[in-house]
Amino acid sequence: MKDARVQKLANQLINYSVSLKENEKILIEVIGEDGIPLAKELIKEAYKVKAMPFFNLINQSLLKDMLEGLTEEQIKLYGKQDASRMQDMDAYIGIRASNNTSELSGISSEKLNLYNEFYTVPVHFEERVKHTKWCILRYPNYSMAQMSKMSLEEFEDFYFKVCNLDYSKMSKAMDALVNLMNQTDKVHIVGSGTDLTFSMKGIPAEKYRGTFNIPDGEVASAPVKNSVNGYITYNTETTYNGYTFHDVHFEFENGKIVKATASNTEMLNKILDTDEGARYIGEFAIGLNPYIEKSIGDTLFDEKIKGSFHFTPGDALEESDNGNRSSIHWDIVNIQRPEFGGGEIWFDDVLIRKDGEFVLEELLPLNPENLV
């Protein structure tokens, strides 16, 4: 990998994504040693703006060993310590660079639920998300290349093209969709194995344009919590807590997932039974990144696929809050381009997107050919 590309990405993350300022404190957290080269450049860039960088390195193999014997008292203390550190930070950049994306797959759902409830929620949902300028990204390594069915060199080229998109241009084009979603009450989504209706009246829409995530490219809102009815069949593979699922199918009654099936139906329902909010939807978002064409099995990329949307069980986003609370937030993606079965999105009985392409004049700048 060329050092110049890593340095360019680090510069963008520090100066654009989290807009780090003099004397601000930033936590640079790396999951997996493969992300260290980027972390080193981030520290250098932080010092250039006279900020104070801190780091944390997480080895998932060690984390797995700890989780296997985990007690509630232990994880509460672990979460308390890391939440306290997060409280001291003004910014956070998280680099996900594990060399085994399934490292935690052998951990019981009981232990993973303890980890999510007493670590993920207080440290990330309550402190990092609500009180810091933050950005999360993956880092190209052999694991991601293999998952994407590419050589490492091919994946690196794809990765940096996606991450170096002109997000300021995309941001301007997103404004029309944000405005439309803010004016919309009734949403109807149809496609292969999918017929959903819900309201998003009064739920603010938010554009994601390279600040919270790299890569980025989505406009998100949420359904009114109890308004979802119908069914959805997702056509991409999805992973949660180290378990991989495909053919995920949800049926809704008054907002709640009342039936859920998948390639691993038992584990799917265990995850959805984590807490009451896990069976309600916390996010509805439309994917817009023109360079991401198919699922690679990684949420940060897959949720931005051009011509896609994701419908997310679990905790609502702070910016588009429908009041749902959960210790999970699971972005599962459905692609509506013709080669994936097609589909339509209607806002208040007006067709806004067909087979992955926007059809309203004010939304045409968001079509892939206009963003590259």
**Average confidence score pLDDT of the chain:** 94
Instruction: Output the pLDDT for position 293.
Output: 93
Instruction: Output the pLDDT for position 235.
Output: 96
Q: Average pLDDT, stretch 146-161?
A: 90
Render pLDDT for 327-344 as a digit per residue (tens, 0 to 9): 999 999 999 999 999 999
Instruction: Output the pLDDT for position 291.
Output: 93
With cut-offs at 50, 70 and 90, classify the pLDDT of residue 351.
very high
Q: Average pLDDT, stretch 75-94?
A: 97
Instruction: Output the pLDDT for position 2.
Output: 54
Class (C level, CATH) for 3-163: alpha beta
Q: Which of 24-28, 113-117, 145-149, 318-322 has the lowest mean pLDDT?
A: 145-149
Instruction: Output the pLDDT for position 208.
Output: 93
Instruction: Print the SS3 string covering the chain.
Output: CCHHHHHHHHHHHHHHHCCCCCCCEEEEEEECHHHHHHHHHHHHHHHHCCCEEEEEEECHHHHHHHHHCCCHHHHHHHHHHHHHHHHCCCEEEEEECCCCCCCCCCCCHHHHHHHHHHHHHHHHHHHHHHHCEEEEEECCCHHHHHHCCCCHHHHHHHHHHHHCCCHHHHHHHHHHHHHHHHHCCEEEEEECCEEEEEECCCCCCEEECCCCEECCCEEEECCCCCCCEEEEECCCCEEECCEEECCCEEEEECCEEEEEECCCHHHHHHHHCCCHHHHCEEEEEEECECCCCCCCCCHHHHCCECCEEEEEEECCCCCCCCCCCCCCECCCEEECCHHHCCEEEEECCEEEEECCEECCHHHHHHCHHHCC
With cut-offs at 50, 70 and 90, classify the pLDDT of residue 144.
confident
Render pLDDT for 267-311 as a digit per residue (tens, 0 to 9): 999 999 999 999 999 999 999 999 999 988 888 899 999 999 999
Domains of the chain: which residue ranges?
3-163, 167-370
Q: Answer whether residue 206 shows pLDDT above 80.
A: yes
Q: Which of 120-124, 163-167, 177-181, 201-205 has the lowest mean pLDDT?
A: 163-167
